[in-house]
Amino acid sequence: MPETIYSLAGKKVYVAGHRGMVGSAIVRRLASEGCEILTASRGDADLTRQAEVEAWMEKNRPDAVFLAAAKVGGILANDTYPADFLYDNLILEANIIEAAHTVGVEKLMFLGSSCIYPKFADQPIVEESLLTGLLEPTNEWYAIAKIAGIKLCQAYRKQHGSDFISAMPTNLYGPGDNFDLKSSHVMPALIRKAHEAKTGHLPDITVWGTGTPRREFLHVDDCADACVHLMKTYSAETHVNVGSGEDVTILELAELVSKVVGFQGSISHDLTKPDGTPRKLMSAAKLRALGWSPRIGLEQGITDAYRAFLKGEYLERKRGDAA
């Protein structure tokens, strides 16, 4: 195990975005770190308003921050609401990072996404391929905001010596996911479609696009564990990929989800919907070298996500509300 260079024990740790899938998983994971967890509801501070974020930070003075707040959504939501995805994400990360610097936060982790990488980056995608090519147009608005967040952390490190780091999770799924079919990502969409087809005795489920794009998936509890690990053991300018290191085609995913859910019908395609980027597998080499690897396999993870869906532990959002 790598050495702990930043202990969270006894610290005041602010989780921005605690109601979202990632933020709530980080809150669950932090319970065993012996820290005091701080959260801010929208009534306490609207993260898109600089004065409100500054006032909240001044009053609560966290020692460490996990910046997991974001306006998130799947391929269609990104494509439909570009202004919201770019503006909201830029403004909230800028507000939190600047306020964290002002009140002297010791350590901050910014969370991004694998969509920051060029559409045709060599696979598996290494951290160094950032800004080496054009982005996937369907989610470039979100991606540009997330790239700006990485750069903000690097800039504050360079100019002020701030210990601000960035982690880039792959496609995440699990408890707290968004199961709204218009704004969700593929995993929760397929879980819901398979469940509704099974209970409604429908002959098939519809997969958007050709089913040939490849995607990597990580259970959100694994992601939270990796983030806490990095917070304690990593301090450098380069962002770190957080993934499983393995990918599947969308069709393979649909088949696995059908198996877990117990749906025995067929799979059809809606070719009017976009495929998006053909493949998005991140290199897990850096994270492995830093002493972390995932524990939850894909089938086990989907079983857990389906359990959470059945228990109603999910967020029904209209169009990618701030996580």
Q: Which residues bind ligand GDP (CB under 6 A)?
A: 74-75, 115, 139, 171, 184-186, 189, 207-209, 213, 215, 250, 273-276
Query: Given the DSSP bridges, would you call strands 163-169 and 240-242 parallel, antiparallel or unpaired?
Result: parallel
Residue 17 marked in a binding site: yes
Q: Is residue 87 flagged as an active site residue?
A: no
- Which of 142, 156, 173, 306 is an active site residue? 142
- Residue 232 CB, nearest distance to ligand GDP (Å)? 29
Q: How many CB atoms lie within 10 A of CB 124?
A: 19
Q: Minimum distance from CB of 142 to ligand GDP (Å)? A: 9
Spatial neighbors of 140 by CB under 8 A, at least 6 apart, are none
- Ligand-binding site membership of 210 (annotated): no
Q: In this structure, are strands 214-219 and 247-249 parallel, antiparallel, or unpaired?
A: antiparallel
**Residue 317 annotated as lining a ligand binding site:** no
Report in angstroms how near the CB of residue 205 gets to ligand GDP at its nearest: 9
Q: Does 19 belong to an annotated binding site?
A: yes
**H-assigned helices in the chain:** 21-30, 50-60, 75-80, 82-102, 140-160, 186-199, 220-233, 250-261, 285-289, 298-310
Helix axes 220-233, 21-30, angle to 10 degrees: 60
d(CA 294, CA 142): 26
Least distance between ligand GDP and beta carbon 179 (Å): 11
Q: Is 18 annotated as a binding residue?
A: yes
Which lies closer to ligand GDP via its Cβ, residue 35 or residue 115?
115
C-beta of 76: minimal distance to ligand GDP in Å?
6
- Closest by CA to 75, choosing from 142, 2, 153, 152, is 142
CA 283 → CA 38, 168, 171, 245, 288, distances in Å?
Answer: 32, 11, 14, 6, 10
Map residue 275 onto helix, strand or coil: coil
Tell me: is residue 219 an annotated ligand-binding position: no
8 versus 250: smaller Cβ distance to ligand GDP: 250
Residue among 82, 61, 168, 77 nearest 125 (CA)? 168
The CA-based angle 41-150-8, given to 5 degrees, is: 55
The reply, when asked if residue 20 is annotated as ligand binding, is yes
- Kindly tell me the burial class for residue 165, based on how many C-beta atoms sit within 10 Å of its own C-beta (0-12, 13-18, 19 or more): buried
* Residues contributing to the annotated binding site for substrate: 193, 208, 215, 275
Residues carrying an active site annotation: 142
* Residues contributing to the annotated binding site for NADP(+): 17-23, 111-114, 146, 169-172, 185
